Each structure stands twice: as structure tokens, then as C-alpha cells.
Amino acid sequence: MKPLEGLESRRAALKVLTEVRAGRPFEAALDRALGRLAAVDRRLAHELAAGVLRRQKALDAQLAPLVARGWNQVEPTLQDVLRLGAFQLTGLDRVPAHAAVDTSVSLAKETGGARAGGFVNAVLRGLGRTAPPPPGTSPSDAARLAERYSHPLWLVERWVARFGAEEAERLLRWNDTRPRLVLQPARESIEELERRWRAANIAVEPAPYGAGLVTDRRRPQELPGYSEGAFLVQDPAQALLTWYADLPPGTELYDASAAPGGKTIALGRHAARVVAGDVSRSRVRRLTENLRRAGSGHEHAVVADARHPPVRPLNAVLLDAPCLGTGSFARHPDARLRVAPDGLARLERAQAELLEQVAGVVAPGGLLIYSTCSLEPEENELQVDRFLRRHPEFRREPSETFPPALLSPNGDLMILPQRDQMDGAFAARLRRSA
């Protein structure tokens, strides 16, 4: 029997979702599931898996009324099969309805037999191509937005309180878009990269604030210059951290949480030496590969716990702290499924401990740069405020060369996705007294 056309991409998307539910990060799950697919199937599988993760609450709200025995009684893998079908029917105009239903039925039969296939067929044909129902009366703006954009209610409540409902919705809408690929210069200048890619008929344009080049291509490995380390993949927000750090040439830097290495490589271009540490051996292997491909030779990867810095006092230390990652939800659509209030509290404590330890290897007169990819004040400015109260020998020292539009009133780097059209980020420059 001839295999059903398009089934491989749907099968791969289901595998991605299954691995994400088991705790594997989205990007790692993609690498495992998509490697052998044709380019067109890779793109579709990526779009399907990411779309389900981004719209899960809304999809469940559409599917649940069609399941007589109750949505929570449906086996988890079968729930994801239905979500994949529903996303195609309601979110992808270019996918014919019969293709969405037929491939979903085939997936259901593979995972649960003929009875599961019949169940999926009945539910999806009941759903059809009808538009999602308009949101009902909600007790609050936050509840309405949390359901529509499939975000945790507790987090949306925070954002509505902080930004207001309209701006919070812009943030949620940004999180539900697939970000474009942004590339940063490494062993070639940004001008050389632009000339090379335009000569190869690859469309590129400047990223916001000139922080890299944006392309419509999806696989950096296929771009000219990748194997030679001419560029690296990095969101503008992370590239702008290098500008904000404003380190003088010849600096010796300890990057306390360096993997996968984008900031290390950017900072190493002008540093005398960068000791790039990470506590995870697997992450250090990836870091080492990236340094070998695109580094300047000034960077040195080590397996090291930032709570026990492996260096003598240096004139610059960067702590890119573990955080909730709420500024990078667009890039990591699975991350919204993992965040919880108790996780925020644990991370606050961990960040404070790490700050205490790395501060000890900042030489007198040296600079400590604290950064996150979070939007949450407890992980950002409030964390810095608490550190400065404990350590009066440090003070904020904002960069004098950085665009004021991206600075907070305290002079901290503050990038908001809904305002700045890139990942969210925070950083503070903290100068130790001589």
C-alpha cells in the first residue's frame, strides 16, 4: 500500500511533541526528529509542532466539546494527534482539509489502532474548517488572553498588571510568531557577509539597531560561510549585549555560563582572553564545537560550576544567569509549558547565589555584567538592586555608547519583544570600586 503523502512530516511533528512532553527542549527534539526529512517536510513538521505548542489552550478549547467522554480521558499521544489535525484545519489555510484529517487518522492508527483512527476521524470531521469560536465572557483580560494565546494564566496576569492589557496582548502575539533567522559576523565582517549572500541571491536585511543580518532562510548550515565560521546564529538581543558590555580591547573575561557560545565568540573578537565555563559537559562539547568553527582563538572552554569560579580575579566577568526565559518564548515555543511561580522563586535564589560567587573574582576596578533573557523584574532589576544593597563596593555604570531607547531609567539594558521586535533581554553593568 502506498504511504500516505505528507505523513512523514506529521509523524515527525508528533515525535517532536512527544519528546517535548517528556522534557526534551524543543530545539533538541527537532534535531532528533527532522534530520533525514526533505527540506519541505522539515519546514512543515517544524511549523506543525511549534504551532501546536503555541496554540495548545485554544486548540484544546475547540476539541474538548467534541469528546463525549471528556478531554482529560483521551490518551496524551492521541491528544497531540488531534491537536496536530486541529491546527492544520484552523490555522493553516494551505493544508487541504482531507490531508489534515487523513494524515491524523493514519497517525492515530499507528499509535492506537483502528479504533483510535475512527475516534480521531469523528472528532476532526466534527471540527471541520470552522473558525475558532469567539472568546466567551472571561472574568478578566488576563484570563481571556491566557486562553487565546495559550500562556499560563499566572504569567499573563503579571504582564497585564505590568504592561496593561493592550501591550500584554502585543507581547503574547509576538510570542506566537516564528522568528526569522538572524546571523552575526564572526570570522568575516557584516559587510563581507552581506556581499557574499547577496551574490548568492540570498535575501538579507539589517536586524534592528544593526545587530546582525536577517534572512528568510531557515537552515544556517546551508548558507555560504557556515563551515568556515564566517558567522553564527544569534538573536539581535544577545548581540546587543556585547555592545552594552562595552569592554575595552585587551580585556581578560570570565564568561561564567558560556554555552552555546554566541556571546563568548562576540566578546572574544576584541578580548585578550575569554575563559568560557559551563557546568554541563554536554553543553561544553557544543560550546567547544562552536568555538572551533567560529571563534577567534582567544576563547578557552572549561567545564566549571559558576558557584566555584576557576579563575583568579579578572577585570571583567559576565554572568548570563539561568532564568525563566520569558523573553525568548517566540524562539522556544515549549518554554511556556514549563514555567511556574515556584520555578521563578527557585531561580531567584539561584541567581543571587551565583552573583555572590562570581562577584568574588571581579578584580578591584573591574566590571561585573549580569544578564538574563527574562522579562521578570525579580530576575532582573530587583535582583541587581538586592545585590547592590549587599555589596556597596559595586555600583551601576551604564554604557555611554549604547542606544538610550533600550535602556531603563537606571541605565540597565532592557529589551522588550513587543516594543523592540526581538527577544527580550536584560543586563546591568556593575563596576567594582578600585
pLDDT in tens, the chain (434 residues): 445 778 999 999 999 999 999 999 998 899 889 878 888 899 899 999 999 999 999 999 999 999 999 999 999 999 999 999 999 999 888 889 999 999 999 999 998 999 999 999 999 999 854 445 555 444 589 999 999 999 999 999 999 999 999 999 999 999 999 889 999 999 999 999 999 999 999 999 999 999 999 998 888 988 999 999 999 999 999 999 999 999 999 999 999 999 999 999 999 999 999 999 999 999 999 999 999 999 999 999 999 999 999 999 999 999 999 999 999 999 999 999 899 999 999 999 999 999 999 999 999 999 999 999 999 999 999 999 999 999 999 999 999 999 999 999 999 999 999 999 999 999 999 999 99
Averaged confidence pLDDT in the chain: 93
- Of the candidates 116, 253, 291, 373, the residue annotated as catalytic is 373
> With 0-12 CB in 10 A as exposed, 13-18 as middle and 19+ as buried, what is 89?
buried
Parse the chain into domains and list their residue ranges.
7-127, 141-175, 185-233, 236-432
Class for the domain spanning 7-127: mainly alpha
- C-alpha cell of residue 53: 505548542
Distances (CA, A) of 405 to 390, 413, 420: 29, 9, 9
> Are 431 and 397 in contact, with CB atoms under 8 Å apart?
yes
CA dihedral 251, 282, 372, 149 (to 10 degrees): 150
C-alpha cell at 350: 539561584
Q: Which three cell numbers stand for residue 278?
A: 559551563
Q: What is the pLDDT of residues 197-210, one digit of tens each?
A: 999 999 999 999 99
The per-residue pLDDT for range 134-178, each reduced to its tens digit, is 554 445 899 999 999 999 999 999 999 999 999 999 999 999 998
314, 366 in Cβ contact below 8 A?
yes
Task: Give the distance between the most distant pair of CA atoms in the chain.
Answer: 77
Q: What is the DSSP string of 92-151?
A: -TTS-HHHHHHHHHHHHHHHHHHHHHHHHHHHHHHHTTPPPPPP---SSHHHHHHHHHT-
Cell for 168?
500584554
Query: Identical fold at 7-127 and 236-432?
Result: no
pTM attached to this predicted model: 0.89
373 assigned to active site: yes
Number of helices (H) and strands (E) in the chain: give both, helices first. Answer: 16, 12
Q: Is the dihedral of CA 71, 34, 417, 89 positive or negative?
A: negative
CA distance 107 to 86: 14
Closest to 79 in 3D by CA, of 102, 56, 97: 56
* CATH number assigned to the domain covering 236-432: 3.40.50.150
Cell digits for 304? 566549571
Nearest alpha-carbon partner for 44 in 235, 280, 218: 218
3-state secondary structure 51-103: HHHHCHHHHHHHHHHHCCCCHHHCCHHHHHHHHHHHHHHHHCCCCCHHHHHHH
Q: How far apart are the first and last CA of the chain?
A: 77
pLDDT at 340: 93
CA separation for the pair 408, 405 (Å, rounded)? 8
Of 299, 307, 333, the C-alpha closest to 174 is 333
The reported pLDDT for the residue numbered 1 is: 40
Integer Cα distance of 274 and 269 in angstroms: 10
Residues 296 and 321: beta-carbon distance below 8 Å: no
What pLDDT score does 136 carry? Answer: 47
H-helix segments, 360-427: 381-390, 417-420
Q: Which helix (H) or strand (E) holds 190?
A: helix 190-199
What DSSP element (H or E) covers 316? strand 314-320
